[in-house]
Amino acid sequence: MSFDVVAIREQFPILSRSVNGKPLIYLDNAATTQKPQCVIDALVDYYSNSNSNVHRGAHFLADEATQHFEQARDTIQKFINAPKREEVIWTTGTTESINIVANGLSSLLSSGDEVIATGMDHHANLVTWQEACRKSGATLKIIPVTDAGELDQDVFDSLLSEKTKFVAFPHVSNALGTINPVKSMTAKAKRFNAWVLVDGAQGAAHGWADVQEIGCDFYVFSGHKVYGPMGTGILWGRASLLENWPVWRTGGEMISTVTLQKSTWNVLPYRFEAGTPNVGAAIAFGKAVEWFADLDHKAVIEHEMALLAYATKLANEFEGLTIIGNAQHKISVLSFVLDVGHPADIGFLLDKQGIAIRTGDHCAQPLMARFNVPGTARVSFALYNTFDEIDALFTALKKVKVMLS
């Protein structure tokens, strides 16, 4: 298959709307991606034709909803190359997935143990480990970030020891776009028998979430960053770990037996899926992954990298603009500051011209402190973005600079 950006754009209804009297240029894809019509249709179809609770009803609609819900799990299993379907746990998103792991980790660590995280982590992949260490008495170690915006691998090597019990790092930095060498980092941690979690919130959106290839113990990501609905996510973990991992939420579905004195827990994946799930969104999430997996990924990546290369060229030619994060390997994210104005002002003025970007600390305050900036203006491209949109962005930035000077 070849990649046709015009044909792709036609599948996304929101891209045809206007904002502030201008055609929408959506460049905030690292925050959330827009949804193709087939995903919207899948969500509407569930509520129009199959709405029912899953696993529990003794009637046609319940059976149909359950079938679609579990088929979506199978789709995710295939997408991430998980060995077993029961290892795929539905969550509300990356944050909840990480918290499930952190909750269990708190009771499995003890004083003298060490946890390694990074200086580029999203707060959801840092604060959780801070809390796990605080509750358990373990020590948190941090892999620093280089001037180029990469994880310092030499320091990582020096941090690993027999005390290391758990290592967590992002597949891709949400703030800088840096692609981390997750396979080699996992292999290093495994030499010390440490558990490894990869925050795949940005990596999965580019089709790189092959958990067997990476070799990690946990991989987590959100549906809304992979062209699916918000309020959905995945915790993948090795069955040998999840079968005995402490549960987080208790209630319906996750139990096996209940008496007035005690309870026992259900088998995987249900032991971590307490309560009524977001059934329609999960089904639509599966449709999004199915849609994305059917694309020519080589062509998609080439398109996104070409967008990044073109935007980087224009950024380097733009007087007073400084790119934050120049890693050798990046996804299509351009994070920058101007020599005039605050990033929030840049975002506000671009919005007035119909251009949507993200500004602020990107839930990565320690990383912003590392580069001594209050935040950045972040442009993030997806497969439906175009070179004309990049031209429009830099034309608008010239106006922004004049207004802020």
Nearest to 29 by CA among 235, 326, 307: 307
CA-to-CA distance for 204 and 293, rounded, in angstroms? 11
Nearest to 30 by CA among 389, 365, 364, 395: 364
Residues 6+ away with beta carbon under 8 Å from 300: 3, 207, 383
Nearest to 161 by CA among 215, 110, 105, 113: 113
Would you say 221 and 239 are in contact if contact means Cβ atoms under 8 Å apart? Answer: no
How many C-beta atoms lie closer than 10 Å to residue 394's C-beta?
15
Q: Of 38, 133, 216, 363, which residue is the catalytic one?
A: 363
Q: Is 363 an annotated catalytic residue?
A: yes
Residues 6+ away with beta carbon under 8 Å from 383: 3, 5, 8, 295, 300, 303, 304
Task: Dump the DSSP string for 117-184.
Answer: EETT--GGGTHHHHHHHHHH--EEEEE-B-TTS-B-HHHHHHH--TTEEEEEEESB-TTT-BBP-HHH
Nearest to 234 by CA among 218, 246, 221: 221
Nearest to 80 by CA among 194, 221, 239: 221
How many C-beta atoms lie closer than 10 Å to residue 199's C-beta?
31
Tell how many helices (H) and how many strands (E) occur in the chain. 14, 17
Catalytically active residues, by annotation: 363
